[in-house]
Amino acid sequence: MPKVTLQQSQSEAEKWAYKKLVSRFQPRPPVVRNAFWAFVVGGLICVLGQVFINLYRQAGLAETEAATGASITLVFLSALLTGIGVYDQIGRFAGAGSVVPITGFANSIVAPALEFKQEGLIFGVAARLFTFAGPVLVYGFVTSWLIGLAYYLLKF
């Protein structure tokens, strides 16, 4: 067992006292304000989705096709805004409010691809495209396949 000298124990005590002092003067994050803006921005994204559903319904699409069109439009817009750097600004301001809806999923796919585009199309964009979303897609596909298979087998 290594020996602990008096000098080592004093330096550990000093480190602990310093950390305690720093934590007293460190600014606290504005949790209530952050939660408010996350709620507002996430809600606005959902309202925008509902606006697209209503527009597609007025154009003559059925409810499911209108919802699909709205999802596709939101994914396209978030990918576009990620590409031009606007979605990152929204994310810094809104936090989880920009991450939770379907737009955050599109952002999580496009952002790594843009980050590594200088490495080329194959080893940069293609290799990093599904870094975050890949496991989500794989588990989603496998789960839906298993549920479909169970439904098919139990139907007979």
pTM of the entire predicted model:
0.65
The answer to whether the beta carbons of residues 113 and 128 sit under 8 Å apart is yes
17: in domain: no
19: in domain: no
Q: Average pLDDT in the 25-39 region?
A: 87
Higher local confidence (pLDDT), 99 or 133:
99
Number of domains in the chain: 1
26: in domain: no
57: in domain: yes
Query: What are the pLDDT digits (tens) for 104-156?
Result: 878 877 877 777 777 777 776 666 766 666 777 777 788 889 999 999 999 87
97: in domain: yes
Residues with Cβ within 8 Å of residue 124, at least 6 apart in sequence: 113, 116, 117, 118
Range of the domain at 70: 32-115
Distance of alpha carbon 91 from alpha carbon 81, whole angstroms: 11
18: in domain: no
148: in domain: no
Q: Average pLDDT in the 1-21 region?
A: 69
Higher local confidence (pLDDT), 17 or 72:
72
154: in domain: no
